[in-house]
Chain A
């Protein structure tokens, strides 16, 4: 089945929906959203806890409620939504090939494509975790689906490895459902999750957090019976002699989210080695002309509110491109550079002729207290802000004024660094 659209959005989660809606608002006519699940909403559908929308709506919503706001908006439009549809590839000319039960193989000819595929969880197999391989070892997101969507308990005595938000949320969720969550282990000397989650999920429930600790081995023939934990050194290697056996029947892993860019890589989109998402301009265009990226597939976000805003930017970019393919021809890009203390910056490329101020999103590589975030253009300080606390688990942003950009040249270097 061959179809023609102006814009194909891959992924119908909060990123895809916001991007499609903004493109619609900007006049893009034929839009299709391709979603692999049975309904729109993405990962929010299983995030039944609240805390979503504090910034964007000024309200405290649950994941499904937040997604629901956008689903309602999408339903009001004539945006073509195909669920239960899996994208197989993105071609040279931005042709998207997808498949579903009803339509068979779909060949979608689109002028622009927005990548909004979200991210996947790092599994046990990617860690060097020794021991037996029984049932009972699962990623926190998988456990979340079993509990919140399918309505089943995946276990009763739980150890969680990884103090990222999903691990913290599941610590509370399992406790509320009557499981015994014995501990959360975190290999780093600090937690990767939002501070409010440490408080509301661990402290409030008396669940201990063991930093600089990892799980080295699993035990149990058929179902998990216990794990061996150990302290780690500065190189994150287990310290011999610190091993401890912890009885449990469930090990939940919250050890990293990886943007799902298999399709992007196959299509020739260049990725940033640190974010594992695409290299993009401030309009979120990737290195492939007409292909834009937003949401977790671009960089793993902490707050869906920022996903929405980023997706709207991508929608704007796609709309501009569809309106006039040469829209970005006059752009002159400089590369953003990470300085000391900064792990990555999105966008990686900024047009010095950008018509509006540009927000740079970044993450720091360690915890800083009372430090300054300094932006430099060609070595000169252009902005300087004091932060009481900076942590890798909370994405930050800094605004570069349009006027500042105007005065730069294509070989200028725009850097963000942390000054203690």
Chain B
């Protein structure tokens, strides 16, 4: 039996697991998919927002600003790339220029530092590839970019090294309370826990309802993106926003920590919370609107497109706290933007709620990690470092992914450990193998072979992302 069961291994659940793993408590992280970061966490804008966007006084505002403050430090500890490159909200009309003023004021009220309005001339010097029709912009120096799934993977690795158990392919179907604890029925068996932390993303309202809490409602909201080639990754250096509307922050154009350019997202409510399909219309909208900010940002340079579904809470704010309907349930739900930015702060908040909810306040472990060892990144090493690495382990001398320069050694590393990759996409997210120009055309079959070897499975048992995503079938005649 566990002291805490966290349902959902997205950025919220994984960061919470890491926070709790400091204490002398038993924690299990339950995930319905074959890997961490499989929901909205792997399909968002990858931005650490400054925090001027959310309404003052909301949890979104408070936790965004706090999370943004914490992000650089957390990323340093976890050896996760993070870049404090700043953001610009562009204004094209006089009305929008007024909106910038509103955002600025809201930022001040929310405690955001490092903001100012930049006029056209200076703006175009800062970012020469912006649409010259721009009138002004709100610069926020505290904004940054981070890889959301890398942060999640790192947090999960850290949590696991502190003893948190990771249970994958475990979809929660029921929760019963009996004999002073919760019996969580999952597709991988029943899990018993004293307290339940609900970080189930788009399914959080369903999970809460299983436990008798119907206090909040989630509307799945889809967002589509294009990822552009690294060749155009330098078109802009900051995160470029347009003025927000009721549906959200609008289409942005942003560099990623890996040097690509990301454009998107759209914002469309969808009935099916698992509908991550892209649409012709959505992609057309992304193209058109991105070009408004950065005319040269074109889908001609696209290397891939994707979509994610955010858990939009009907109340408009995060739902974080102990459930009044069910005292053993702690919700960390309705985590849509600025969920990634707020993640370190959400984990911090849930940690406190958890400590208060325990019968006996847990003590810190004598020894615990708050970070994880830096993963090998061959492509970032000097030739001397590469020489040393290969001498130590020849597996680092074989480049498997040509486009992203990923070695066999890194791929094997990605598969080891309790939170390691178990499928091709898991290897991709941990190493970048398959994220380049050829999108896995060259390395895909090699990654499959390595997975089969490491997992001691036949080649045709390896999937793209778990469940029934088989890649190859029976042997040829």
Contact B398 A146, beta carbon cutoff 8 Å: no
Contact A101 B470, beta carbon cutoff 8 Å: no
**Does A102 have its Cβ within 8 Å of any Cβ on chain B?**
yes
Residues of A within 8 A of B477 (CB): 177-178
Contact B398 A125, beta carbon cutoff 8 Å: no
Contact A101 B464, beta carbon cutoff 8 Å: no
Of A135, A150, A217, which one neighbours B470 at CB under 8 angstroms? A135
Of A84, A130, A155, which one neighbours B473 at CB under 8 angstroms? A155
Contact A100 B276, beta carbon cutoff 8 Å: no
Contact A130 B283, beta carbon cutoff 8 Å: yes
Of the listed stretches A116-124, A300-308, A391-399, name the one at the interface; the rest are far from the partner chain: A116-124
Residues of A within 8 A of B441 (CB): 120-121, 123, 138-139, 141-142
Residues of B within 8 A of A223 (CB): 468-470
Residues of A within 8 A of B56 (CB): none
Contact A222 B386, beta carbon cutoff 8 Å: no
Contact A134 B469, beta carbon cutoff 8 Å: yes
Given contacts A86-B399, A88-B405, A120-B438, contact A104 B390 (CB under 8 A): yes
Given contacts A139-B441, A222-B467, contact A104 B277 (CB under 8 A): no
Of A130, A135, A156, A219, which one neighbours B279 at CB under 8 angstroms? A130
B274, B279, B398 pick with most chain A CB within 10 angstroms: B398
Of the listed stretches B125-133, B243-251, B303-311, B346-354, name the one at the interface; the rest are far from the partner chain: B303-311
Contact A152 B474, beta carbon cutoff 8 Å: yes
**Does A327 have its Cβ within 8 Å of any Cβ on chain B?**
no
CB interface residues, A 108-158, toward B, < 8 Å: 120-121, 123-126, 128, 130-136, 138-139, 141-142, 145-147, 150-156
Of A125, A128, A221, which one neighbours B274 at CB under 8 angstroms? A221
**Does A374 have its Cβ within 8 Å of any Cβ on chain B?**
no
For residue B171, give the distance in angstroms from its CB to the closest CB of chain A.
14
**Does A363 have its Cβ within 8 Å of any Cβ on chain B?**
no
Contact A142 B304, beta carbon cutoff 8 Å: no
The residue in chain B whose Cβ has the minimal distance to the Cβ of A99 is B397
Of B277, B390, B397, B460, which one neighbours A152 at CB under 8 angstroms? B460
Residues of B within 8 A of A142 (CB): 441, 444-445
State the majority secondary structure of interface residues on A.
mixed
CA A84 to CA B400, docked complex, whole Å: 10
Residues of B within 8 A of A125 (CB): 227, 302-305, 439
**Does B383 have its Cβ within 8 Å of any Cβ on chain A?**
yes
The residue in chain B whose Cβ has the minimal distance to the Cβ of A137 is B464
Residues of A within 8 A of B470 (CB): 135, 222-223
The residue in chain B whose Cβ has the minimal distance to the Cβ of A97 is B383
**Does B394 have its Cβ within 8 Å of any Cβ on chain A?**
yes
The residue in chain A whose Cβ has the minimal distance to the Cβ of B468 is A222
CA A36 to CA B443, docked complex, whole Å: 12
**Does B459 have its Cβ within 8 Å of any Cβ on chain A?**
yes
**Does B437 have its Cβ within 8 Å of any Cβ on chain A?**
yes
Contact B390 A105, beta carbon cutoff 8 Å: yes
Residues of B within 8 A of A138 (CB): 441, 444
Given contacts A99-B390, A126-B303, contact A105 B278 (CB under 8 A): no
Contact A132 B394, beta carbon cutoff 8 Å: no
CA A126 to CA B37, docked complex, whole Å: 25
Residues of A within 8 A of B306 (CB): 133
CB interface residues, A 25-60, toward B, < 8 Å: 36
Residues of B within 8 A of A145 (CB): 445
Of B402, B440, B472, which one neighbours A86 at CB under 8 angstroms? B402
Contact B459 A128, beta carbon cutoff 8 Å: no
Given contacts A86-B402, A124-B439, A150-B445, contact A130 B277 (CB under 8 A): yes
CA A151 to CA B445, docked complex, whole Å: 12
CA A121 to CA B440, docked complex, whole Å: 10
Contact A123 B387, beta carbon cutoff 8 Å: no
Interface string of A216-240 (1 = CB under 8 A from B): 1101011100000000000000100
CA A291 to CA B277, docked complex, whole Å: 45
For residue B457, give the distance in angstroms from its CB to the closest CB of chain A.
14
Given contacts A133-B306, A150-B445, contact A217 B398 (CB under 8 A): no
For residue B426, give the distance in angstroms from its CB to the closest CB of chain A.
13
Contact B386 A104, beta carbon cutoff 8 Å: yes
Given contacts A141-B441, A152-B476, A153-B472, contact A128 B276 (CB under 8 A): no
Given contacts A104-B391, A126-B303, A223-B468, contact A131 B399 (CB under 8 A): no
Residues of A within 8 A of B391 (CB): 104
Contact A153 B469, beta carbon cutoff 8 Å: no
For residue A154, give the distance in angstroms from its CB to the closest CB of chain B.
5
Residues of A within 8 A of B117 (CB): none
**Does B299 have its Cβ within 8 Å of any Cβ on chain A?**
yes
**Does B177 have its Cβ within 8 Å of any Cβ on chain A?**
no
Of A36, A101, A216, which one neighbours B397 at CB under 8 angstroms? A101
Of B438, B439, B476, which one neighbours A147 at CB under 8 angstroms? B476
CB interface residues, B 262-276, toward A, < 8 Å: 274, 276
Sample (28) of A-B pairs whose CB atoms are under 8 Å apart: A99-B390, A101-B390, A102-B397, A103-B397, A104-B386, A105-B383, A105-B387, A105-B390, A123-B437, A123-B440, A125-B227, A125-B304, A126-B302, A128-B283, A130-B283, A131-B277, A131-B278, A133-B278, A135-B469, A139-B441, A142-B444, A150-B445, A152-B459, A152-B473, A153-B472, A153-B476, A177-B476, A262-B437
Given contacts A36-B399, A88-B405, A153-B473, 10 further A-B contacts (CB under 8 A): A102-B394, A103-B397, A104-B397, A130-B282, A133-B276, A145-B445, A152-B474, A153-B474, A217-B280, A262-B403
7 nearest CB pairs, A to B: A125-B304, A101-B397, A135-B464, A123-B439, A101-B394, A222-B468, A152-B472
